[in-house]
């Protein structure tokens, strides 16, 4: 008796002109019998969006965050792939989940900033949150069907970024930080990989996805980027998931979940890979990891503030307004003054986001003013100096913020 053909899944792709969005469309091109794109959204690239819409016969398109939020609740969608960069993707994630549509999540910031909100929306509607990050998809595979009591902890792997063996990071340039050794990604996530903040954000994401507390979520540096996730069993054994460094693999899996779609190319050749090595995280050189763990443990709106501060600091670094080591310093300084709110109140989450961004801009503005009076201050600046800086503008309060309801 023949097996019935799987139904074609109707997909909305948010952030279709970015790195993940383009790779998702590659997946669709290879599996037109399994996937149909019915909606596309971009941040600003109207020309690329028009070309994609013409190729895939899509009439429902959107430009900007508000349009993406509307498109995320498309009544015919089976799954929404959220590949928007940064906290701007939170409202779209909530829109899909509230509409009862499965969410293929490449926008980790949705869970970092609004994890409690997203989980509550998924519980109410019955929609699923399916991770697209290679590490979380690896853990999903290793944990599938497992009883929580049989697992001791989960471990995310990190490539170590371009500065894994570099001892002095004070004079790192954006060009150097953007030269990732194993992955081809967008600029923001590439800088996050260089500071290892990306791995810290993924720890918080894993906490919400799998329900492990932070003491049972680990990180190990794995330069080859072949092993993506590790589950340590209660009996001391481990399960390791390995795959090529190709984001189309977790994208394909997330779009098809719970079904499986065969890859059009060959899999991993371990003989060609050779040796696999692992090492611990150097928290002194990469303090962003510890900042993320601490924000996660603090809970409330600390993760939202962490994420927003990081986005602003990375933007400042790419614009030449902040040093590489200053990214972590300014995040720590911002978190030290954070006033936590209710993580289940969208207004509080958005306020934490806005306040953290304003604090970062104020600290950098103050630092730059000091530099103009003493040009050597940046080179002499250290963590204590950043923590001592006061923002040059007041952090906005709830009454001064105007936010849209999604």
CATH class of domain segment(s) 288-400: mainly alpha
pLDDT in tens, 343-352: 999 999 999 9
- Give one DSSP letter per residue of 340-381, joined into a string: ---TT-HHHHHHHHHHHHHHHHHHHHHHHHHHHH-TTHHHH-
Mean pLDDT of 203-230: 97
Flag whether pLDDT at 1 surpasses 50: no
pLDDT in tens, 223-268: 999 999 999 999 999 999 999 989 999 999 999 999 988 887 778 8
- Give one DSSP letter per residue of 180-234, joined into a string: -SS----HHHHHHHHHTHHHHHHHHHHHHHH---GGGEEEEE-TT--EEEEEEET
Average pLDDT for the chain: 90
The per-residue pLDDT for 397 is 35
User: Do 306 and 314 meet the contact criterion of CB atoms below 8 Å apart?
Assistant: no
Flag whether pLDDT at 400 surpasses 60: no
Which one, of 311, 313, 291, 312, lies nearest residue 302 by Cα?
Answer: 291
Q: How far apart are CA 72 and CA 61, in angstroms?
A: 11
Predicted structure pTM score: 0.90
Q: To which residue do tokens 């002095």 refer?
A: 168
- List the domain boundaries for the chain: 1-148+244-280, 288-400
pLDDT in tens, 132-182: 999 999 999 999 999 989 999 999 999 999 999 999 999 999 999 999 887
Q: Looking at the domain that runs over 1-148+244-280, which CATH code has it been given?
A: 3.40.50.720
Which residues pair with residue 153 across a beta bridge?
232
pLDDT in tens, 49-79: 999 999 999 999 999 999 999 999 999 999 9
User: Do 290 and 203 meet the contact criterion of CB atoms below 8 Å apart?
Assistant: no
């Amino acid at each position: 008796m023949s097996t019935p053909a799987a139904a074609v899944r109707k997909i909305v792709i948010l952030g279709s002109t970015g790195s993940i969005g383009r790779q998702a469309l590659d997946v669709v091109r290879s599996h037109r019998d399994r996937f149909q794109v019915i909606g596309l959204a971009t941040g600003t690239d109207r020309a690329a969006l028009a070309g994609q819409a013409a190729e895939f016969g899509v009439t429902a398109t959107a430009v900007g965050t508000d349009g993406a939020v509307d498109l995320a609740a498309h009544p015919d969608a089976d799954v929404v792939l959220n590949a928007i960069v940064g906290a701007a993707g939170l409202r779209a994630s909530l829109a899909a989940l509230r509409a009862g549509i499965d969410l293929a999540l490449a926008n980790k910031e949705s869970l970092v900033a609004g994890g409690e909100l997203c989980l509550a929306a998924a519980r109410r509607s019955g929609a699923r949150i399916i991770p697209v990050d290679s590490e979380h998809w690896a853990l999903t595979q290793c944990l599938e069907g497992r009883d929580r009591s049989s697992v001791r902890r989960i471990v995310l792997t990190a490539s170590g970024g371009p500065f894994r063996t570099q001892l002095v990071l004070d004079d790192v340039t954006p060009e150097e930080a953007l030269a990732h050794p194993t992955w081809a990604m967008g600029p923001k996530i590439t800088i996050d990989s260089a500071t290892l903040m990306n791995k810290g954000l993924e720890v918080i994401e894993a906490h919400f996805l799998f329900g492990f507390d932070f003491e049972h979520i680990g990180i190990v540096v794995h330069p080859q980027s072949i092993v993506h996730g590790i589950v340590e069993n209660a009996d001391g054994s481990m399960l390791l998931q390995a795959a090529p460094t190709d984001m189309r693999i977790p994208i394909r899996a997330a779009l098809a979940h719970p079904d499986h779609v065969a890859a059009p190319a060959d899999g991993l050749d371990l003989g060609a890979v050779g040796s696999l090595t692992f090492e611990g995280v150097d928290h002194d050189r990469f303090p962003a990891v510890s900042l993320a763990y601490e924000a996660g443990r603090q809970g409330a709106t600390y993760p939202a503030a962490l994420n927003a501060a990081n986005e602003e600091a990375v933007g400042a670094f790419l614009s030449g307004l902040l040093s590489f080591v200053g990214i972590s310093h300014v995040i720590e300084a911002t978190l030290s003054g954070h006033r936590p709110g209710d993580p289940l109140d969208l207004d509080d989450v958005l306020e934490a986001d806005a306040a953290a961004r304003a604090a970062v801009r104020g600290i950098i503005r103050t630092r730059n003013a000091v530099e103009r009076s003493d040009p050597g201050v940046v080179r002499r600046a250290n963590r204590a100096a950043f923590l001592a800086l006061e923002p040059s503008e007041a952090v906005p309060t709830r009454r001064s913020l105007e936010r849209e309801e999604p």
